[in-house]
Amino acid sequence: MPPRCHVIVNPTSGSFSKASLDLALAALRETGLDPLLLETASAEDPARFAARICAEEAAPLILVMGGDGTLNGVLNGLRPGVATLGVLPLGTANVLARELKIRSLEDALGRIARAVSRPISVGELECAGVRRRFLLMAGVGVDGQVVRGVRLAEKRLLGKGAYLLSALRVAGGWERGTLQVTGAGRSVVCHSVIVCNAARYGGDFLLAPEADLFSPGFQVLCIEGGPLNYLKLALKLGLKRPVPGRFVTSFAASEVTVAGDKPVQLDGDYFGVAPLTLRSLGGFVRVIC
Ligand SMILES: Nc1ncnc2c1ncn2[C@@H]1O[C@H](COP(=O)(O)OP(=O)(O)OP(=O)(O)O)[C@@H](O)[C@H]1O
C-alpha cells in the first residue's frame, strides 16, 4: 500500500482554487503517496485535525494547503516531535513558504517528492493561563492592533492591501502607551515589540536576518516612538535596507516577558492582549524543506 499523507486544506485561504487542489492531489499520487483530504470548515479545524492525526499515527506526514494561519492552527494541534509537516502555500502572505524559499506550488510538490526534512524550533506564548504556539513571530503593539483591525471583507477584496488600510486606521487613532520587554538579562521600555522566530515578516520583508527557524531562540525587536518611526521602518523593509538601529533595539533571547496591555498577533492572526511570556521550543517538528 502507498504511504499515507494527510492533506489539511483551507478552502478560504487567500489563493486557494479547486484547480490547485486537484493538481496537488494528482502530483502526490504520482509521487507514490496516498493523500487523505481533510477540508477545514472553521478556524478551529486545523488544530482539531492535527490533534486527531497525532493521536492515531506514530509518525504522520501532514501537508498543509493554505496560509500561515492554517499552519499555525495545525502547529497547535501537534504532539511535540511526532509529525513531519509539508507546506503547500495557498495563503495571502505565505511567510513560512518564503522562509523555506518555496517558490510555487509545483516547487513545494517537488520537495515533498524528495522528502528531505529538518527539525525547526517554534515559539510558545503563555498569557493568562492560555498557551499557544507560533511558527514565525509574535507581535505586541502596533502590528497586533493592525492585525486586529483587518476587516475580512477588505482582506477578500484587497489581499495584503487590507493590512495597509488597517494600518492607516491605527495611525489615525495613535495609541501612546508603553511595554516593558524583558529577556536575556535585558529590560527595554518601548512602544511595540516583534519577537521573531523566523527572519521574514508580512511576506518577503527581511525584518530579522539573525532569526533562524532551524535554531532555537528568538530575535527580539523593540520599537520606540511614533507613527513616523513605523513609516521609516516600513520604507526600509520595502527597500530591502537594514532595519534602523536608532529606534529599534534588537537582541537574541530564548524566553521573553512582555508587560503592558497591548494587542497581540501570532503568525499574522489576532490572539488577544498582553501581558505574556514567550518561550522557544527547540526541534519541535520536522518540516519538509
Ligand atoms: N474553513 C475555514 N473557514 C474559516 N476560517 C478558516 C477555515 N480554515 C482555516 N481558517 C482560518 O483562516 C485563517 C486564515 O487562513 P490562512 O492563513 O490559510 O489564509 P491567509 O490568511 O490567506 O494566508 P496567510 O496567513 O499566509 O496570509 C486562519 O486563522 C485559519 O485557521
pLDDT tens digits, one per residue of 128-161: 999 999 999 999 999 999 999 999 899 888 888 8
165 residue type, one letter: L
88 CB-near residues (< 8 Å, 6+ apart): 7, 24, 63, 64, 65, 66, 105, 108, 109, 112
How many whole angstroms separate alpha carbon 203 and alpha carbon 63? 21
Q: What is the pLDDT of residue 155?
A: 86
Q: Which domain holds residue 219?
A: 125-281
pLDDT tens digits, one per residue of 160-176: 889 999 999 999 999 99
Asked whether the whole model's pTM tops 0.90, one would answer yes
| pLDDT value at 37 more than 80 | yes
Q: How many domains is the chain built from?
A: 2
pLDDT tens digits, one per residue of 77-105: 999 999 999 999 998 889 999 999 999 99
Residue that is written with C-alpha cell 499574522 in the block? 268
Q: How far is the CA of 13 from the centre of ligand 1 (A)?
A: 5
Q: What is the pLDDT of residue 93?
A: 85
State which of 115, 138, 153 marks the end of a domain: 115
In a shared domain, residues 181 and 247: yes
In a shared domain, residues 89 and 149: no
| Residue 286 within a domain | no
Residue that is written with C-alpha cell 537582541 in the block? 251
Q: Which residue has the higher pLDDT, 49 or 92?
A: 49
In a shared domain, residues 277 and 149: yes
| pLDDT value at 2 more than 80 | no
Q: How far is the CA of 10 from the centre of ligand 1 (A)?
A: 6
> Which three cell numbers, joined as nine digits, stand for 110?
517537488
In a shared domain, residues 145 and 76: no
127 CB-near residues (< 8 Å, 6+ apart): 264, 271, 272, 273, 274, 275, 276, 277
Q: What is the pLDDT of residue 207?
A: 96
Q: What is the pLDDT of residue 243?
A: 87
Query: Residue with the nearest Cα to atom 18 of ligand 1?
Result: 67
Q: How far is the CA of 154 from the centre of ligand 1 (A)?
A: 14
Query: Residue with the nearest Cα to atom 28 of ligand 1?
Result: 69
| Residue 73 within a domain | yes
Q: What is the mean pLDDT of residues 174-203?
A: 96
In a shared domain, residues 43 and 151: no
In a shared domain, residues 27 and 87: yes
Picking from 32-36, 90-94, 187-191, 225-229, which range would have the lowest pLDDT averaged per residue?
A: 90-94
In a shared domain, residues 91 and 168: no
